[in-house]
Amino acid sequence: MELLMLVAIAGGVVAGFVVAFLILRGAQTIKREDIDRKAEEILREAKQRAESILREAEGKAESLIESAREEARRIKEDLEERRREVKELEELVHSKEKQLDRKWEIIEKREEEILRREREIRDMQRQVEAKEKEILDLERKLKEKEEEIERLREKELQELQRIAGLTVEEAKEELLRKVEEEVRVEAVKLMRRIEEEAREKAEFEAKRIITTAVQRLSPQIAINYTTTSVELPSNEFKGRIIGREGRNIRTFEILTGVDLIIDDTPDVVTISSFDPLRREIAKEALERLIQDGRIHPARIEEVVDEVKREMDEKIRKMGEETVFELGLHDINPGLYYYIGKLYFRTSYSQNVLLHSKEVAYLAGMMAEELGLDAKLARRAGLLHDIGKAISHELGGSHTDIGVELCKKYGEPDAVINAIKAHHEEEPVRYPEVALVCAADALSAARPGARRETLEVYLKRLEKLEEIVKSFRGVANAYAVQAGREVRVIVDPEEISDEDAYMLSKEIARKIEEEMDYPGQIKVVVIRELRHVEYAK
């Protein structure tokens, strides 16, 4: 900058001298004073020009410096941005590495589980082979017994003909009767032994799977009544709720479809209705009116309409949360509303949504134990009672309505089969559906799940005892453990041990055909023979 200023000043001075020289040479007649004045003017102009050039140079220099600073700042910001991007990339890479580590751990666990399952399958195959070998041995022994019986029959026939002088036909009939009795006893014993072994093994495995599933599930047990209580800030609100000449309470009951019970209980109002959805709407509306403080017919109508509109969205949200809780992300969103609506339906006082979730969890866990499709089992378990969401509105069987709903929203055939099969309207076609039926029975039969009236309970016990007493040889029958077990006393003179075994099966089969009941009924046949004598 100083160099530019010196150059400008020097240029101005030189220009001044040149002009002065030319003037002196071209006009020698000009006076000395005029020459000095001209020289001063030239110098002044040169200085002004130099200052102007200097200011212009300084402006350009400042502009260059500012642009350089701006460029440096921009470069710095770019560097900071690049540094942040690099840091984010490093964090992303670190996160991906953690995810890969977790996935490897999951894969390793799955491999261990698969190996364990393969070992179990091999063990079961060996057991099956051993059982097959045992059955072949039993068949061989049975064949030998039949051959021995045939020899004995021929021998006895000859002996009978010799001793009794019977005809061949008579002897044949007598021999066949005796052989039939002996073979029948032997066959019943053999069948009972094989059946008991198979039952013990099957019951052990079934109990292990069911107990494992039940232990893993800790269900929320909810008992729905027909009333709901709402607390009041003070007892004076009762009068405001009733209103002048009862107009407020009448308006509220007409709009919500419930009964408001206002008694002597301090600071409490009771909402009574058999419809849980109406009770929930009434409870929410009443709480908002109490909080707002303005209680009159117009405000009541406004609040009730607002709560009804919001309740639909709340129901849909509840269904969506249930679906995501069970990991069924591919269910059609159109079913969310119907799933959520199950929360406001009850069956024998059991909340249908909680029952459906319980069935889904139990069926899924049992499917995992058996190596089946756990997700499909959970899906079928959740939707097996979906028709109950609107069956009271449309009328008709909840199974038919559920089938229509699920077909409309593209549910798989296994879900349709579960809806029908859990009420025995069609046979089970998928193993997952069999688990849903078992889980449905478990959920409905657990203590406290469902309630029934005393009259229905007594009729069920009477029907159970009536069925048992209809069999020949039954002396008496007693239904115990709330109808979950029936003890049958038989006449020992009329019913043998083998007959008692067959009788238990026939009674169980007839109970299954003629009665509807939750869970299972245990049939216990008791044959007792007593010999009494007195010492005198």
The answer to whether the CB of 500 falls within 8 A of the CB of 515 is: no
What residues contact residue 429 under an 8 Å CB cut-off, 6+ apart?
413, 414, 417, 421
Say which residue the tokens 């052990």 belong to.
204
The total of other beta-carbon atoms located within 10 Å of residue 87's CB is 10
Between CA 438 and CA 479 the distance in angstroms is: 24
What does the CA dihedral 243, 246, 247, 252 come to, rounded to 10 degrees?
Answer: 90
Is pLDDT at 181 greater than 80 in this prediction? Answer: no
Same domain? For 350 and 437 the reply is yes
Q: Across the strands, what pairs with 485?
A: 480, 522
With CA atoms as reference, report the closest residue to 370 among 432, 438, 441. 432
**Worst-scoring range by mean pLDDT, 80-84, 216-220, 432-436, 487-491?**
216-220
Q: Are residues 39 and 146 in the same domain?
A: no
- Return d(Cα 326, Cα 328) in angstroms, integer: 6
Residue 193 CA to residue 499 CA, distance in Å, equals 15
Q: Which of 152, 183, 216 is the endpoint of a domain?
A: 216
> Does a structural domain hold residue 132?
no
Distance CA 227, CA 274 (A): 8
List pLDDT tens digits, range 133-174: 888 888 888 888 888 888 887 777 677 666 655 566 766 676
pLDDT at 3: 44
Name the residue range of residue 440's domain. Answer: 326-445
Provide the token pair at 447: 């203590």
Q: So what's the pLDDT on residue 6?
A: 47
* Other Cβ atoms within 10 Å of 445 Cβ, number: 14
What pLDDT does residue 220 have? 47
Q: In terms of Cα–Cα distance, which of 471, 467, 468 is closest to 499?
A: 471
Q: Which of 113-122, 332-341, 440-449, 496-505 has the lowest mean pLDDT?
A: 440-449
pLDDT class for 344, splitting at 50, 70, 90?
A: confident
Domain end call among 216, 249, 284 = 216
pLDDT score at 379? 92
Within a domain: residue 121? Answer: no
Q: Which has the closest alpha carbon to 345: 484, 191, 222?
A: 222
Q: What would the pLDDT profile of 444-453 be if each residue is shown by its tens digit? A: 665 444 544 5
Average pLDDT value for the chain: 79
> CA angle 252-255-260, nearest 5°?
40
Answer whether residue 123 is part of any domain: no
> Is there a single domain that holds both residue 53 and residue 99?
yes
Q: Are residues 427 and 464 in the same domain?
A: no
Q: Tell me: pLDDT of 260 over 60.
A: yes
According to the model, what pLDDT value does residue 223 have?
A: 45
- The verdict on 202 and 279 lying in the same domain is no
For residues 211 and 231, membership in a common domain is answered with: no
* Residue appearing with tokens 């699920």: 406
User: Is there a contact between 456 and 464 (Cβ–Cβ < 8 Å)?
Assistant: no
For residue 454, is pLDDT > 50? yes
- Residue 100's contacts (CB-CB under 8 Å, 6 or more residues apart) are none
46 and 97 in a common domain: yes
Residue 131 lies in a domain: no
Does the structure show a pLDDT above 80 at 300? Answer: yes
* Per-residue pLDDT, 179: 72
3-class DSSP assignment, residue 222: coil
In a domain, 475, yes or no: yes
Return the ∠ at Cα 84 (arms to 79 and 89), rounded to 5°. 125
Residue 82 identity (one-letter amino acid): R
Rg (CA), the chain: 49
221: confidence class by pLDDT, cuts 50, 70, 90:
very low
Q: Is residue 125 part of a domain?
A: no
Residue 458 is part of a domain; what is its CATH number? 3.30.300.20
Query: Mean pLDDT over residues 348-352, rounded?
Result: 75
Q: Is 356 contained in some domain?
A: yes
Are 482 and 470 in a shared domain? Answer: yes
Claim to verify: residue 403 and residue 433 sit in the same structural domain: yes
- Which residue reads 């029959």 in tokens? 153
CATH number at residue 239: 3.30.1370.10
Instruction: Among 445, 475, 501, identify where a domain stops.
Output: 445
What CATH number does residue 415 fall under? 1.10.3210.10
| pLDDT score for 289 | 86
SS (H, E, C) 368-406: HHHCCCHHHHHHHHHHCCHHHHCHHHHCCCHHHHHHHHH
Residue 218: predicted pLDDT: 46
pLDDT digits (tens, 9 = 90+) for 186-204: 666 666 666 666 665 555 4
Of 490, 519, 524, residue with least CA distance to 508: 524
Query: What length is written for the chain?
Result: 536
Q: Is the pLDDT of residue 318 over 60?
A: yes
> Do 309 and 331 lie in a common domain?
no
Write out the DSSP string of 149-188. HHHHHHHHHHHHHHHT---HHHHHHHHHHHHHHHHHHHHH
Chain position carrying tokens 């055939």: 413
248 and 338 in a single domain? The answer is: no
Beta bridge partners of 487: 478, 524
Sorted by sequence, the CB contacts under 8 Å of residue 412 that are 6+ apart come out as 376, 379
CA-to-CA distance for 501 and 507, rounded, in angstroms? 10
Residue 129 lies in a domain: no
Tell me: pLDDT of 321 over 80: yes
In this predicted structure, the answer to whether residue 5 has a pLDDT above a threshold of 70 is no
Q: How far apart are the first and last CA of the chain?
A: 150
What is the pLDDT confidence band of residue 413, given thresholds at 50, 70 and 90?
Answer: very high
| Rounded Cα distance, 436 and 378, in Å | 8
- If one counts the domains in the chain, the total is 5
- The confidence band for 494, taking pLDDT boundaries of 50, 70 and 90, is confident
Gap between the Cα atoms of 195 and 201, Å rounded: 10
Using CA of residue 393, residue 398, residue 403, residue 406, what is the dihedral sign?
Answer: positive
Question: Across the strands, what pairs with 527?
Answer: 490
Model pLDDT, residue 222? 44
Clarify whether residues 358 and 424 are in a common domain.
yes
